[in-house]
Structure 1
């Protein structure tokens, strides 16, 4: 009887796909903890995207020490200024949402526009922090417009994360991992298509 070849390392009970899944979950937990101060959200997602990009391309597995090193590098590169924009954007969206719920004329149209605006902002924000060259909104906008399929894939990942958070709130601490992984893989996919 022929044996099926395995990509497992000696002593590793699971294959590389499961190891990548475990890396994604660990990166999600580490990102959740690192994002608790709110202003560190962009740096936390950037560190997770960098760690998962390296793991997906055959590099080292995600570790807490490696994640902390990447997080320190991103925090020192000035991503805290971008993190200050998050509470401001959330405040504007909450005020707009309160006005929509007040029953003013055109509330349905505004609710749809706000949902699309939030989805677009999250998608472009994820592309910005997943960039290996550092977060830049202008670059993320150009990359989003230049790669509509990748942008659609990332928007679907954001929608799926929102639906999972709504349906199974216990998954919320793990969701940053799949989002960071989606952003990193979309970035790798678009770089591969350009090559």
Structure 2
């Protein structure tokens, strides 16, 4: 009898991270993983027109931020609502920047293959520029009003929070390696990137608010 009672009382001693709500099979960690997968797929679809990429990532960050505050799992309808709110002439104009940078990088990469002096030294510089641009872009799309999609504010936060920027640079580099080695993962990568940018921005604003 004592063993039976001990067995029935054991689940109450589980740590909070392992507890599950009634009817929840996989627990909160799996819910977060599922949210990132769904946001990643929705963001990839929203990025297909290319110029909508800033609004798509901003909507992903707003959706994940809302899910973190409310505890409600991500829904496609919620993401669509945030996407509509972020679509504007300004966001579409910002969406022209990534294709222009991609063309510029392709031209620079072609010059690296030429026998020009200093071509080998230019390669790591280009990599650093790409990572820096990715960090600023991620921080910009993670901003809330009144700084929504402000490249200036994103650059200021990237410079003021070097630790968070390094984390985002590592995430962007890892995403690039995964996209190159396993192309099938490309539709899922925007979710973790948006999640990382959102967490870094939340940490930065909380630290600045307490200072």
TM-score (norm: length of structure 2): 0.88
* 2:21 alignment partner, one of 9, 17, 29: 9
Distance across 1 between alignment mates of 2:161 and 2:115 = 38
For residues 85-132 of structure 1, the C-alpha deviation after alignment (integer angstroms, 9 at most, x for no partner) is: 111111111111111122311111111111110110011011001111
Equivalent residues of 1:100, 1:108 under 8 A apart? yes
For residues 65-93 of structure 1, the C-alpha deviation after alignment (integer angstroms, 9 at most, x for no partner) is: 11011001100373111001111111111
Distance across 2 between alignment mates of 1:191 and 1:163 = 30
Q: Is 1:41 the equivalent of 2:53? A: yes
Q: Please give the secondary structure, in 1, of the residue aligned with 2:90.
A: coil
Q: Is 1:126 the equivalent of 2:126? A: no
List 4+ stretches of structure 1 deviating above 6 A.
none
Distance across 2 between alignment mates of 1:103 and 1:55 = 52
Q: Is 1:193 the equivalent of 2:207? A: yes
Q: Please give the secondary structure, in 2, of the residue aligned with 1:57.
A: helix
Q: Which residue of 1 aligns with 2:189?
A: 175
* 1:19 alignment partner, one of 23, 27, 31: 31
Where does the alignment leave 5 or more consecutive residues of structure 2 unmatched?
1-5
TM-score (norm: length of structure 1): 0.95
Q: Which residue of 2 aligns with 1:74?
A: 86
Where does the alignment leave 5 or more consecutive residues of structure 1 unmatched?
none
Give the C-alpha shift of residue 14 in structure 1.
Answer: 1.4
- The alignment of Structure 1 onto Structure 2 pairs a total of residues equal to 195
The higher-RCO structure (CA 8 Å, 6+ apart) is 1
